[in-house]
């Protein structure tokens, strides 16, 4: 496990019930954080250099749960050691970095998985199964909203280091979800996007709100709303409209609600409040897709197969977002420049 932050905790939760999976080592740039993570999760070996972890003979598969600007260096370290890799979203800060990452894993001949939780959420997988069974006819449009009140770690707010703001952070989920619902064989032609910093001007130069309209080559569209200014907890919603019906998923919804006058501890990611009306999510790692994706990646590694979400998918998403950021500046539809030699 490369990383000792919030997403690495989720990955550990996701791996906990995966048969045969055992986390043998973890890395953090801070010795104290590495040791604390190891204690909390029962990991026997800690490292403060990525290269040393990747050189560990016990390590077979490396999970990258690091800030965006460290994804490419981590992939270099893992491929140098010929280790299989799973990388968190977004794959990279931009399409150029993502293309280099694809090149590295191909040259090393290692399994590579793109940890896009949205398309491993049980709700979203069920929606896709219904689409495949023809339940709503042909998918016409997709609308998605990903929102919360703002990132939990300082590196997200540094748009230059992270590669972008709310659209990169959250739009990567909805772009891949749209590809999942439409079918990846349907290529994205162009995009139109708007973004602005409406609230967090003192924290970031990146956008804290964005809208992205993407258009397939056949004219069908998907609309994304991404926000870092939504109070009251996470919003993870998809609406899929077809010729014979529609499907709505709301991953952040829960059947539990409570009115509290005293805090009850952790409730859910980005809960914003500990008292009053609260909506705790049980088995959060499974609900968000962490368990299903980790099970899939481990099984693919054991079986010698390539995952259904890999670095080529992350590359396409990065290229879509590159075009979106160009559109924010130009005020025009911008083409999605995908190199199909890279995308496969």
For residue 341, being part of any structural domain is answered with no
In a domain, 342, yes or no: no
Instruction: Give the chain's domain count.
Output: 2
Residues 19 and 146 placed together within one structural domain of the fold: no
Q: Are residues 104 and 136 in the same domain?
A: no
pLDDT of residue 274: 85
Which CATH number covers residue 262? 3.30.360.10
Is residue 158 situated within a structural domain?
A: yes
Q: Is residue 229 part of a domain?
A: yes
**Tokens 């500046």 label which residue?**
329
pLDDT recorded at residue 174: 97
Same domain for 140 and 30: no
Residue 17 resides in a domain = yes
| Coarse DSSP helix, strand, coil percentages of the chain, rounded to the nearest 5 percent | 40, 20, 40
pLDDT, one tens digit per residue, over 256-280 is 888 888 888 887 777 788 888 888 7
pLDDT at 95: 98
Structural domain span for residue 256: 119-283+312-335
Give the max Cα distance, the chain: 58
125 in the same domain as 100: no
Distances (CA, A) of 324 to 122, 160, 199: 29, 16, 21
- Is residue 112 domain-shared with residue 148, that is, in the same domain? no
Q: How many CB atoms lie within 10 A of CB 331?
A: 10
pLDDT of residue 144: 97
Helices marked H in 109-234: 122-132, 154-157, 159-162, 166, 172-182
Do 68 and 124 lie in one domain? The reply is no
Identify whether the C-beta of residue 339 lies closer than 8 Å to the C-beta of residue 332: no
Instruction: Note the pLDDT of residue 265.
Output: 84
Tokens 């016409």, residue located: 140
Q: What is the pLDDT of residue 253?
A: 77
- Within a domain: 45: yes
193 & 221 share domain = yes
Residue 1 lies in a domain: no
Residue 343 falls inside a structural domain = no
Which tokens is 229 given? 């200014």
Residues (pLDDT < 50) of the chain are: none
From CA 107, how far away is CA 141, in angstroms rounded?
38
User: Domain of 43: which CATH number?
Assistant: 3.40.50.720
pLDDT confidence of residue 342: 94
- 191 and 329, same domain (yes or no): yes
> Do residues 141 and 63 share a domain?
no
Cα–Cα distance for residue pair 287/121, rounded to 1 Å: 6
- pLDDT digits over 96-105, tens only? 999 999 999 9
Domain match, 157 and 251 both: yes
User: How far is Cα 72 from Cα 297, in angstroms, rounded to an integer?
Assistant: 20
Tokens of 315: 């590359």
**pLDDT tens digits, 18-29:** 999 999 999 999
Please tell me whether residues 328 and 222 are part of one structural domain: yes
Written as six digits, the tokens of 34 are 């590495």
Rounded distance, CA 221 to CA 241, Å?
11
Same domain, 155 and 134: yes
């Amino acid at each position: 496990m490369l990383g000792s932050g919030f997403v690495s905790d989720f990955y550990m939760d996701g791996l906990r019930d995966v048969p045969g999976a055992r986390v043998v080592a973890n890395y953090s740039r801070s010795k104290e954080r590495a040791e604390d993570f190891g204690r909390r999760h029962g990991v026997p070996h800690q490292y403060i250099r990525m290269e040393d972890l990747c050189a560990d003979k016990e390590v077979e598969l490396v999970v990258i749960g690091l800030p965006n600007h460290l994804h490419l260096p981590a992939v270099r370290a893992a491929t140098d050691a010929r280790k299989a890799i799973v990388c968190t979203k977004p794959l990279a800060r931009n399409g150029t970095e993502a293309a280099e990452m694809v090149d590295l894993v191909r040259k090393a001949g290692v399994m590579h998985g793109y940890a896009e939780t949205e398309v491993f959420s049980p709700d979203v997988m069920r929606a896709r199964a219904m689409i495949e069974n023809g339940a709503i006819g042909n998918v016409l449009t997709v609308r998605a909203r990903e929102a919360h009140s703002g990132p939990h770690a300082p590196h997200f707010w540094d748009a230059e280091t992270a590669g972008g703001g709310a659209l990169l952070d959250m739009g990567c989920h909805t772009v891949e979800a749209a590809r999942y619902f439409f079918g990846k064989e349907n290529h994205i032609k162009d995009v139109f996007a708007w973004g602005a910093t409406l609230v967090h001007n003192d924290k970031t130069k990146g956008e804290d709100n964005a809208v992205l309209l993407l258009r397939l080559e056949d004219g069908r569209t998907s609309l994304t709303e991404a926000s870092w200014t939504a109070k009251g907890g996470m919003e993870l919603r998809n609406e899929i409209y077809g010729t014979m019906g529609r499907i709505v998923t709301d991953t952040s919804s829960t059947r539990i609600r409570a009115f509290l006058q005293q805090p009850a501890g952790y409730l859910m990611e980005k809960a914003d409040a500990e008292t009053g009306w609260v909506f705790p999510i049980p088995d959060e790692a499974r609900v968000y897709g962490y368990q299903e994706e980790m099970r899939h990646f481990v099984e693919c590694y054991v079986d010698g197969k390539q995952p259904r979400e890999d670095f080529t998918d992350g590359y396409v998403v990065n290229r879509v977002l590159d075009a979106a950021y160009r559109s924010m500046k130009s005020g025009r539809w911008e083409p999605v420049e995908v190199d199909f030699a890279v995308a496969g």
